Structure 1
Amino acid sequence: MASAMELVGRSFLPGPAAAAPGPERRRGGPCFAVVGREGSAHKRKPSLRSTAPVGALAERVVVTPAPPERAGTAPPEPHPQGVAARAVVTVRRRRKEDAKSRVAEQLDAYADRVGCSVLLELISTETDPRKGGPKKSRQSALVGWFEKKDVKAERVVYTADFTVDGSFGEPGAVTVLNRHQREFFIESIVVEGFPSGPAHFTCNSWVQPTRVDRTPRVFFTNKPYLPAETPPGLQELRRQELSDLRGEGADTGERRITDRVWEYDVYNDLGNPDKGAEFARPILGGEQQLPYPRRMRTGRPKTFTDDRAESRVEYPEPIYVSRDEEFEEGKNEMLSEGALKALLHNFMPLLVSSVSPDIRDFAGFHDVDNLFKEGLRLKQALQDQLFQKIPFVRKIQENSEGLLRYDTPDIIKKDKFAWLRDDEFARQALAGINPVNIERLQAFPPMSKLDPAVYGPPESAITEEHIIGQLDGMSVQQALQDNRLYLLDYHDIFLPFLDRINAQDGRKAYGTRTLFFLTAAGTLKPIAIELCLPPMTDGCARAKRVFTPPADATSNWLWQLAKAHVCSNDAGVHQLINHWLRTHACMEPFIIAAHRQLSAMHPIFKLLKPHMRYTLKINALARQILINGDGVIESGFTPGRYCMEMSSFAYRELWRLDQEGLPTDLIRRGMAVEDPTQPHGLRLLIEDYPYATDGLLLWDAITRWCDAYVAMYYPSDESVQGDTELQSWYREAVQTGHADKRDAPWWPRLSTPDDLASLLTTLLWLTSAHHAALNFGQYPLGGYIPNRPPLMRRLVPAEGDPEYAHLVADPHRFFLAALPSLTQTTTFMTVIDTLSTHSADEQYLGERPDEAWTADPAALAAAREFADEVRRAEEEMERRNADTGRRNRCGAGVLPYELMAPTSGPGITCRGVPNSVTI
């Protein structure tokens, strides 16, 4: 046994590799080592933590030392005509660990020293004619775990040596058996020494110890193989790996955090009936009236009071997703910072409200402004009163002042009063956080599609007399023919729920319609707002009120209240339907099905992989704290406890995959017409429509990327139809993942290469650019609550109502009292602050950090061209933002439109298009 002095400094020096362990150490069972005192002397720790892999690099192999007592005199000699190969394994260590974890890491290192090591085995692409299965090497231990136990690097490189027969062929898979006590994260394996050249294995996966899973983990080469092209030696491994991921033959009970099983379930965990009837929520999915996409199954026990509802796991307790879907450390750190902000931001107003209930509402706009200037330090007298009653609050404020102050939202940075202007209200319908509901009015008056026997006559109450003076001398018919009238219509989505919404305490809503006129300058102006309530009794007409641009002070404040109700409708539809439903919930079945049906070797899985990152985890967290009963969404948005029922209603009535692509969506809304002479094959009817113009740049880039990639692997219709894994993926996503809509006639076919490229383009668009456009501007545009109130607490008073006099007497206070309270405001601001934040480990459109994601040089070249095209699109967006002729993105106090700009730094930037739905 070497002395401690002999080991100092040797972990960076090249040395001979260890021989494979003896037969008694290759059984795969857990090892329990007796830890001695040898090698326990303290080493000097480096002062800086490196992020580069630790190991000495030669031209072709990474050489990692072995301790003298384990090393032979030379690397293993090959058999006659044999091959001596080396596997270079990059392991990523946790950056931050508690004392318990550090002790466990040291114990693993000592156990490794006495033989409880990590074993690797090479699997050939060829079969052994004598045994029938694939050719395999002997198991070989990773070398250097003990020697590098104190190295302070994020990535550490280890090696394992193999000697195989010359007829072994090329390695197509590597198995890893972890005989330590803890899991570890493998980034990559490179096997060198074979005549075929280096074999790359992209892993990025946690490997569980044998005490958790005695089955060796399998990692496949980065060479893409369609199912019919799978080399003989890998065919059974490919089949078995997918079977394991589907959970076939596994326990059907509750999933462990360490599992890698992908299954489906309905949304039956949003409520908690065991706490009382008021905490119960309907099950979404599996029922005709409340259809919904499926989510990841956790297998948790049912509640005591409802055997259909699944018991909840409350945050911060972990909720199951497949192990490799968990956030990496950088992402968790960002969310932890957000959680601390949430704690402090919400704690202080609650304390303030308990001490001085009269300030639960904003007294004036200066109170809103003070959230950004002075944080939650309201007035000195109140601070003194609070500190006297609760002394430790002073310490919280002193230590956390930076966290208690909110960043100034972009919407009021350039022009504090921009949000009050009608042109800004209209501009945000084209370039705001929800630019996907504006539609061209094609018939006047607007009409409802709801049952008139229940909801009354379908015609809108907006008449020609209401708007004729706002049409620049045009008639209504002429304005329609010239494509000058546009509509935001939230009537039909809200009206069926209004009786229940308005019966809740502190919740008031209308079904709104807003009519816009397209000016000669290419901007929109609102010309009428209709606020609708449902019939109060049978035979009674709906309450319909129409507001037009104001002519005096009182009508100005009525107009501002009407606009606030439109924004509240818009905020709810944005969050519940366009954001959560379309980009989070509806994508989850395609992600689950991809992991269940597409091998990691499949070229389409390789294409999809970066666009699935973190989505399952963020959706699971949403079920814990956002969309759950009494969660953030119910608390912060006007529909309250009916939020998710509205989302289900929209899924049933509105969602269609064949209309989710950008060009089809623009045509459906009447915002564009087909025109083969135009660059994108479309002519926009509002030329300066930033969401559409920038979106089409990225849509075209994604389209060309998917077209090129599909053409590499699918030369004919028969190649698509004969791909068993591909067809199983799409069929399962539709038939199981979207089971409530599986019989719909509009599902796209998957029979030709064009069908496949179109489907992939739509999926990549939704998970990247579409999601980014709807997400990362939430705080910059919605953080100033008067601009975009998510919740309204008062209806608009009519003359003669008791509240009308209050409005006339103090319009500022009345307006603010109709918006969310102080506590509701700060809670909502904190949440959208976190939701709008890019983490430091974000991967943006066109980026693939792992350069060895595929071994196909043609695919790598096409990926580089895609990245170049994305970069050119960003440069064009920058030019557009500087063009003074584009008044919806350039002008005095006008924010540039950057939500489609692909790149971003970390934090709240109001730009950046990640590959996937990461937040």
Structure 2
Amino acid sequence: MVNYEVTVYTTNCTFAATFNNVNIKLVGTEGKSNRSWLFSIIGSLALFKGDVAHFTVSCPKSLGTLFLIELDKQDFLLFQDSWYPSKVEVRSPEGDTYCFPVHRWITDREVHRFREGKAVKAFEETNTLATYAREQELIGRKKDYCWDESKKGLPHCIKGEIPLSLPPEVTFSYTKHTEFFWTAAIGQAEQHLKGLEKRNESWTDIDALDRVFTYRTTDMSEYVQELWQEDEFFAYQYLNGVNPIMIRCCKVLPKNFPVTNDMVFLHGHGSLTKEIERGNIFLCDYKRLDGVTPNTINGKKQYLMAPLVLFHKRQGKLMPIAIQLKQTPADDNPIFLPTDSAYDWMMAKIFVRSADFQEHQLNVHLLRTHLLAEVFAVSLLRNVPMVHPLYKLLVPHTRYTLQINIMARLALISEKGVFTEFAASGGEAMITIMERSLSSMTYKSLCIPDDVDERGVRDIPNYYYKDDGLKLWDIIFKFVEGVLSYYYKTDDVVVKDSELQDWIQDIFEHGFLSQEQTGIPQKLSTVDELIKFVTMVIFTCSCQHSAVNSGQYDYGAWMPNTPISLQRPPPTTKGPKENIMMQTLPDISTTVKGMSTMWLLSKESSDFVPLGQYPEQYFTEGFPRKQIKRFQRKLHQLSVDIKIRNEPLNLPYTYLDPASFENSVAI
């Protein structure tokens, strides 16, 4: 007889322990063990949460090289519970140690197979049972993770109406679940106690709004309240606010935006044509919002414009110089200028900020991070088994994404969702805007180095989103290159990896609806193509999501800076008029709904996992683990550099500090 020393690690999280009887079978190249009960003198407490338990499995002879274990859990005294093992290590009689990553809930009495940690691609399998286990895993995954079409014309999503319909390994932890719903409940209770959630009248004055705002503030939201009317801050938000990818260098003035030299350069002190040639003129065009039907909120028609905004870079600063609120030039669609009355100029900027809220939430935030991250996750889970190197690399970047998106569909964009009921672009306009956004999206726009160059914004100073984002892209790229080049030595290996090709094809078909104009690859032919695409996936799920999500409350809590909707039409003339700003801004109930939702969506939970930290160990080989350590050191150094850069700034940019955001779309 020979003995195998089995060490079982139970995850240190709530309800991870089991009181059931756990059995194991070891499978090697020379045979397999009998199904053995993991018995301990302390009984089921050996598999308590956070504990490490040791057992011995005896076999008549050596099993050779171990590559698979089978685990099953049977009722104890008719009681079936859940168990969350993190990994199983086995030391063979020959002195070799094998690690089997698990990292999933076992909730039933079925046999679950787990492969040894060394990454293996499908065509590298040499054992029939290993191939069978791989195939069965994907068959099961395709049943658990099915594609669904939530809305025609939008990326497909996970099939499941409620979070409980998801497999337990992709749902919130008990901690995350409790904190999330507690935060939401507190926000709703505050509204109810103050009697604000049903007050459909307009704000009477700015002081009334201020009394609600000051109840819950951040350092940044207080800056916003102080600076929101300033032109320099208005422009700053296009660089370092929650929508930092809208602005682009203006090489040719749009024909539907007839700004003249005299409008923006008084007394001939400058030339618009020459400034365009020098690369100093920038444009934001909200054409995706043109012609949509605005929402009706609390029985009142709302207003949503599709503005064009022109900026001038001068003396190292970006400043707005012209605003047109509708796409088609007309007598009742004037071009507003900083030289107009302060009230006219302020109202024009308010309509722009409201348009930016809609563009940001539907395109930049929801579509380009949440929905794409879900596509990447579902395709990975359906097509790539745990033993595959791509799964090991990407699965940490899918944490909580499926549940948070189901909850968003239920609470935010459903028929009775907060966004649907209280945003200007809720309802009919929402789908139209998102369809337009998906059709106009490009692969280049998802890759920040390409996007920065295509928008012509590489030389804008104090553009911290761009500066930090490019550094993060480079760090992630080198990490991905290091890991994947270890497993994919040549382009031929990429081409013959059928699971990898199924993954990218699913993304193209279900995420981008087979629209070739997006430039998303339908297949991967080279190692370089693979590295770039995986870098984009990780950047989107972590960095980009943080950049467009984390500051929502900072910039939106002071409602006049980011109106969720507007109740009156835009000005059609310039000059003296009745002060109707408070009647134009969203009503009281709409304001507080927006504020509480943005607070909830900006608040991280205590089981937050920062970018590059991998508490669940999937890679067991030395080389990729060294790459992870190097990745972590680079991220730490960037975090230190960002903190030093931010120290003297009145408006520190923290949203791309890698210590402050998660691996995944988890909120």
- TM-score for both structures, normalised by structure 1: 0.68
Deviation at 1:505, TM superposition (A): 2.3
1:496 partner letter = G
CA gap 1:570/1:144 in 2 versus in 1, 3 angstroms: farther
Deviation at 1:221, TM superposition (A): 1.9
Q: 1:335 aligns with which of 180, 186, 195?
A: 180
Matched, 1:519 2:314: yes
8 Å contact kept, 1:501–1:642: no
Report the 3-state secondary structure (helix = DSSP H, G, I; strand = E; otherwise coil) of the residue aligned with 2:369: helix
Alpha-carbon distance between aligned partners in 1 of 2:14 and 2:614, rounded to the nearest angstrom? 22
1:695 partner letter = G
| Unaligned segments of structure 2, at least 5 residues | none
2:136 partner letter = Q
1:513 partner letter = L
1:363 partner letter = T
8 Å contact kept, 1:205–1:324: yes
Aligned ranges 1:738-777 → 2 under 5 Å: 738-741=512-515, 747=521, 749-777=523-551
Q: 2:210 aligns with which of 365, 369, 387?
A: 369
8 Å contact kept, 1:528–1:547: yes
Match in the other structure for 1:821: 587
Match in the other structure for 1:480: 276
8 Å contact kept, 2:480–2:534: yes
The number of equivalent residue pairs is: 662
User: Structure 1, residues 459-516: CA drift from partner, whole Å, max 9, x if none?
Assistant: 2243333212299x321111011111111111x2111215777998241121111111
Match in the other structure for 1:465: 262
8 Å contact kept, 2:611–2:658: yes
8 Å contact kept, 1:768–1:914: yes
Match in the other structure for 1:704: 478
Matched, 1:90 2:10: yes
Alpha-carbon distance between aligned partners in 2 of 1:530 and 1:87, rounded to the nearest angstrom? 68
User: Structure 1, residues 564-622: CA drift from partner, whole Å, max 9, x if none?
Assistant: 11011111111100111011112322211111111101111111011111111111111
8 Å contact kept, 2:235–2:319: yes
Deviation at 1:186, TM superposition (A): 1.9
Match in the other structure for 2:72: 177
| Unaligned segments of structure 1, at least 5 residues | 1-78, 97-104, 129-134, 248-260, 268-283, 286-290, 299-312, 374-404, 448-458, 536-540, 672-683, 808-813, 884-889, 904-911
Q: 2:554 aligns with which of 774, 780, 785?
A: 780
1:85 partner letter = E
User: Structure 1, residues 635-655: CA drift from partner, whole Å, max 9, x if none?
Assistant: 332112134313432344311
8 Å contact kept, 2:413–2:420: yes
Alpha-carbon distance between aligned partners in 1 of 2:196 and 2:248, rounded to the nearest angstrom? 44
Deviation at 1:414, TM superposition (A): 4.5
Match in the other structure for 1:191: 90
Deviation at 1:412, TM superposition (A): 4.5
8 Å contact kept, 2:303–2:568: yes
CA gap 1:138/1:747 in 2 versus in 1, 3 angstroms: closer
CA gap 1:872/1:265 in 2 versus in 1, 3 angstroms: same
Match in the other structure for 2:116: 221
Alpha-carbon distance between aligned partners in 2 of 1:557 and 1:292, rounded to the nearest angstrom? 40
Match in the other structure for 2:655: 899
Match in the other structure for 2:401: 615
Alpha-carbon distance between aligned partners in 1 of 2:237 and 2:595, rounded to the nearest angstrom? 19
CA gap 1:817/1:145 in 2 versus in 1, 3 angstroms: farther
Alpha-carbon distance between aligned partners in 1 of 2:197 and 2:50, rounded to the nearest angstrom? 49
8 Å contact kept, 1:598–1:725: yes
Report the 3-state secondary structure (helix = DSSP H, G, I; strand = E; otherwise coil) of the residue aligned with 1:161: strand
Match in the other structure for 1:68: none
Match in the other structure for 1:545: 334
Matched, 1:880 2:645: yes
CA gap 1:752/1:775 in 2 versus in 1, 3 angstroms: same
Matched, 1:507 2:302: yes
1:242 partner letter = L
Match in the other structure for 2:578: 806
Alpha-carbon distance between aligned partners in 1 of 2:441 and 2:42, rounded to the nearest angstrom? 52
1:164 partner letter = C
CA gap 1:365/1:916 in 2 versus in 1, 3 angstroms: same
Alpha-carbon distance between aligned partners in 2 of 1:167 and 1:619, rounded to the nearest angstrom? 48
Aligned ranges 1:119-130 → 2 under 5 Å: 119-124=23-28, 126=29, 128=31
Deviation at 1:750, TM superposition (A): 0.8
Match in the other structure for 2:384: 598
CA gap 1:488/1:533 in 2 versus in 1, 3 angstroms: closer
Deviation at 1:687, TM superposition (A): 2.9
Deviation at 1:216, TM superposition (A): 0.6
1:476 partner letter = L
Match in the other structure for 1:131: none
User: Structure 1, residues 160-199: CA drift from partner, whole Å, max 9, x if none?
Assistant: 4311243302332222212121222222222234425322
Q: 1:296 aligns with which of 152, 158, 162?
A: 158
Match in the other structure for 1:240: 136
CA gap 1:148/1:138 in 2 versus in 1, 3 angstroms: closer
8 Å contact kept, 1:590–1:733: yes
Q: Identity across aligned pairs (percent)? A: 25
1:688 partner letter = N
User: Structure 1, residues 738-794: CA drift from partner, whole Å, max 9, x if none?
Assistant: 335268665365111101001111111111111100011111121111121121111
Report the 3-state secondary structure (helix = DSSP H, G, I; strand = E; otherwise coil) of the residue aligned with 1:739: coil
Aligned ranges 1:610-689 → 2 under 5 Å: 610-671=396-457, 684-689=458-463
Match in the other structure for 2:247: 438
CA gap 1:597/1:424 in 2 versus in 1, 3 angstroms: same
User: Structure 1, residues 284-322: CA drift from partner, whole Å, max 9, x if none?
Assistant: 23xxxxx22110113xxxxxxxxxxxxxx5xxx645223
CA gap 1:743/1:218 in 2 versus in 1, 3 angstroms: farther
User: Structure 1, residues 681-730: CA drift from partner, whole Å, max 9, x if none?
Assistant: xxx22132111011111011011111111110111111111112111211
- TM-score for both structures, normalised by structure 2: 0.93
Match in the other structure for 2:35: 138
Matched, 1:838 2:604: yes
Alpha-carbon distance between aligned partners in 2 of 1:726 and 1:630, rounded to the nearest angstrom? 39
Match in the other structure for 1:679: none
Alpha-carbon distance between aligned partners in 2 of 1:194 and 1:655, rounded to the nearest angstrom? 57
Match in the other structure for 1:23: none
User: Structure 1, residues 386-422: CA drift from partner, whole Å, max 9, x if none?
Assistant: xxxxxxxxxxxxxxxxxxx4x2133343575211111
User: Structure 1, residues 216-271: CA drift from partner, whole Å, max 9, x if none?
Assistant: 11222221112222341422111111111112xxxxxxxxxxxxx1110101xxxx
Match in the other structure for 1:205: 104
Alpha-carbon distance between aligned partners in 1 of 2:456 and 2:53, rounded to the nearest angstrom? 59
2:7 partner letter = A
Bigger mean CA offset, 787-796 vs 640-649:
640-649
Alpha-carbon distance between aligned partners in 1 of 2:22 and 2:294, rounded to the nearest angstrom? 63
Match in the other structure for 1:51: none
User: Structure 1, residues 525-560: CA drift from partner, whole Å, max 9, x if none?
Assistant: 11111011679xxxxx68522111145xxx211211
Alpha-carbon distance between aligned partners in 2 of 1:743 and 1:461, rounded to the nearest angstrom? 30
Match in the other structure for 2:201: 360
Alpha-carbon distance between aligned partners in 1 of 2:283 and 2:267, rounded to the nearest angstrom? 15
Bigger mean CA offset, 162-171 vs 853-862:
162-171
1:266 partner letter = E
Match in the other structure for 2:231: 422
Report the 3-state secondary structure (helix = DSSP H, G, I; strand = E; otherwise coil) of the residue aligned with 1:292: coil
Backbone CA RMSD of aligned residues: 2.7
Bigger mean CA offset, 626-635 vs 573-582:
626-635
CA gap 1:494/1:146 in 2 versus in 1, 3 angstroms: same
Alpha-carbon distance between aligned partners in 1 of 2:500 and 2:392, rounded to the nearest angstrom? 12
Matched, 1:118 2:13: no
Alpha-carbon distance between aligned partners in 1 of 2:471 and 2:360, rounded to the nearest angstrom? 23
Q: Of the two structures, which has the highest relative contact order with CA contacts closer than 8 Å and spacing of 6 or more? A: 2
